[in-house]
């Protein structure tokens, strides 16, 4: 049996984002950590204009956001021999602003947003306080065990 874990990180901006090589390693780690086999998804890096357009068109919220996940498994009529999870869109503009705002590196912010988006694709949510605790604890567990921790904690971005 062939185990397929396929994801693509697509940079739709005109800038080179060096942190994406480390994000690829983090995602490989997260898939292994969560014991995920036979999954497929994309992480797409966009600018604020594109993410605002997506947010407006699909969520009816006309403003920029940091990350939007489009989970294909929400549509249970799609049946495949592997899990096609969907797409994660991340605004590099918002990621840069939030890295400054939260006083941590762009790597830390992109890592957080990537794992957040992946967990949404896997069915986690934060609509209630109970769901939020479960999802945010899972994010912290993955990021901490990989070595990307919050400011003032030992890790790759400190």
Which of the two residues, 80 and 59, has the higher pLDDT score?
Answer: 59
Is pLDDT of 114 > 80? yes
Strand partners, 42: 8, 87
Supply the DSSP symbol for 73.
G
Domain parsing of the chain, residue ranges? 5-146
Beta strands in 1-156 (DSSP E): 5-11, 39-46, 67-71, 83-91
pLDDT digits (tens, 9 = 90+) for 128-145: 999 999 999 999 999 999
Q: Give the CATH class of 5-146.
A: alpha beta
CA-to-CA separations, 107 to 41, 117, 152, in angstroms, rounded? 20, 15, 15
pLDDT digits (tens, 9 = 90+) for 54-67: 999 999 999 999 99
């Amino acid at each position: 049996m062939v185990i397929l874990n396929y994801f693509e990180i697509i940079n739709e901006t005109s800038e080179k984002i060096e942190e994406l090589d480390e994000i690829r390693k983090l995602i490989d780690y997260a898939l292994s950590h969560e014991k995920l086999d036979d999954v497929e998804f994309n992480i797409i890096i966009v600018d604020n204009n594109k993410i605002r357009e997506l947010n407006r068109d699909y969520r009816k919220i006309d403003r920029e956001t940091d990350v939007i996940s489009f989970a294909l498994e929400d549509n249970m009529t799609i049946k495949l021999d592997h899990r096609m999870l969907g797409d994660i869109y991340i605004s590099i503009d918002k990621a840069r602003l939030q890295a400054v705002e939260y006083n941590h590196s762009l790597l830390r912010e992109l890592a957080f947003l990537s794992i957040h988006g992946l967990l949404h694709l896997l069915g986690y949510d934060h609509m209630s306080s109970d769901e939020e605790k479960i999802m945010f604890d899972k994010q912290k567990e993955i990021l901490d065990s990989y070595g990307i921790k919050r400011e003032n904690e030992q890790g790759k971005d400190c």
